[in-house]
Chain A
Amino acid sequence: MISLIDVSKVYNQKDNSTFHAIDSVSLSINRGDIYGIIGRSGAGKSTLLRLINLLEIPSSGTVIVDGEDLTNLSKQKLRHARQSIGMIFQHFNLVSNKTVLENVLVPLELARYPKKERLDRVREVLRFVGLEDLMSKYPSQLSGGQKQRVAIARALANKPKILLCDEPTSALDPNTTKEILEVLQSIHKELDVTIVIVSHEMDLIKSICNRVTIIDNGQVYETVDIKPKGIVNSDHTPDWFLTQLTEERESDNA
């Protein structure tokens, strides 16, 4: 589904030296994968993800998505290809002056989706993420988890085959994280979407990914196949918080 072949991303720095944010990385992501990319801060995870839809133009190497060499496309063809690659971000990146409905409508407008069917499609994806009732709200009226679900709906509107996620839950609490992971999992199962997730949270990666690449210093450190452990129930009730806090105190006293 996705192949990166010997891809590098080099930045020119202020002192005229160069910095290899991504250094000759090759990897392939299969159709149906929930593929994790993990590594410490600054390792190059986000850069690697953004190379997949050419949000970063590779300095060298080839990016092939769904059989198409993106690095060789005209600007217009590249824009077209991007319409079938969904992407979500840590900070959601919704248009705050547009309602939920309008936000999800935009990608359909961009893809010249048949006018008469747009509204139905918006309803359908919003129902999928469980936000049909909030269509006329503005992002500032939503919780973080709801915002991310709008972003997911927006990314799904054009029925992409691939969903790229950059730290999709890093701005969210454990309960909301669980919600979002469940949405991602149902996208994978029900809509047959290949998912790539960048994260530094081990629990997240372990719970839903079937294949994981560890990135360090812009290079592939190791790629492993794992068996997803399932989403852990992290229902953080007030009682849970209380137990956590008091247990700590008791073990300190002991």
Chain B
Amino acid sequence: MPEILVQYQAEIWQSIGETFIMVGVSILFAIGLGLPLGTLLFLTRKGQLLENRYVFSLLNLFVNIVRSFPFLLFVIFLIPFTRWIIGTAIGTAAATVPLSIIAIAYYSRLVEQSLIDVPKGVIEAAISMGASTREIIFKFLFVEARSGLVLGLTTSTISFISYSTIVGVVGGGGIGDFAIRYGYQRFETELMTYMIIIMIILVQLIQFLGTTISKTIDKR
């Protein structure tokens, strides 16, 4: 192992841990709130089961606003809110607040897109069998869209990793922040290179995993 990695071993492991926490929490929020939000976005669209122009426009506006913010500004803009929720605006826990909100908005849009791809006839068949909206969602929509949902989550996760490098500005830590602080600011170019390689490997792994899972569950 290169000497410089050994030298900074403890810090490197810690930064990897921080990245995992930030990205992990983002994924949880993406699934827990982004999936329902995306489903609601889809269902309230024109011509869909719960068509509702007002609800759709409201949700759509929320998603668009969050996603159009440059992320750095979003983090700073949210500082009062973060302080209110977490008690402080500094540190890894605080960094998960803007990350989770962007995760919800980001994944919900991809969920909406995957659900749009479900053939309308399948939903019709479900209605003709007497399925309730809830049953249509769980027994038809999510089943038919599952590979798209997994691919969307993969793409999202990779974006979350990229976003997580920016929260260094509020002391969020993580691999990206470490690379900037030690590698760039202290001119340890070699160290920075290694950190970038670690990030690349991480992203490759996630993409490979996501693609493989999505392919195996796709029977269309």
Contact = CB atoms under 8 A, between A and B. Distances in A.
A27 interface: no
B143 to A, nearest CB: 5
B122, B124, B129, B140, most chain A CB atoms within 10 A: B129
A106 B139 contact: yes
Nearest to B147: A97
Question: Which of B124, B130, B217, B220 has its CB near the most chain A CB atoms (within 10 A)?
Answer: B130
B130 A81 contact: yes
B132 A93 contact: no
Contacts of A79: 130-132
Interface in A74-111: 78-83, 85, 87, 89, 91-98, 106-107, 109-111
A106 B140 CA distance: 9
A55 interface: yes
Interface in B65-106: none
Contacts of B2: none
Interface residues of B, number: 22
Contacts of B130: 78-83, 107, 110-111
Given A55-B124, A87-B125, A89-B124, A97 B131 contact: no
Contacts of B121: 89, 91-93
A53 interface: yes
Q: Which of A80, A81, A110, A139 has the most CB of B within 10 A?
A: A110
A96 B144 contact: yes
A30 interface: no
A93 B119 contact: yes
B129 A107 contact: yes
B134 to A, nearest CB: 11
B139 A53 contact: no
Contact of A82 (B119, B128, B218, B220): B128
A126 to B, nearest CB: 17
B53 interface: no
Given A55-B124, A89-B124, A95 B135 contact: no
A110 B219 contact: no
Contacts of B218: 97
Given A98-B143, A110-B135, A138-B219, A93 B125 contact: yes
Interface of A: 53, 55, 78-83, 85, 87, 89, 91-98, 106-107, 109-111, 138-140, 151, 154, 164
Interface of B: 119, 121-122, 124-125, 127-132, 135, 139-140, 143-144, 146-147, 217-220
14 contacts: A78-B130, A79-B132, A87-B128, A87-B129, A91-B119, A91-B121, A92-B121, A95-B122, A95-B144, A97-B146, A110-B139, A140-B219, A151-B125, A154-B125
Lowest 5 CB-CB distances: which A-B pairs, in order? A82-B130, A93-B121, A93-B125, A83-B130, A79-B130
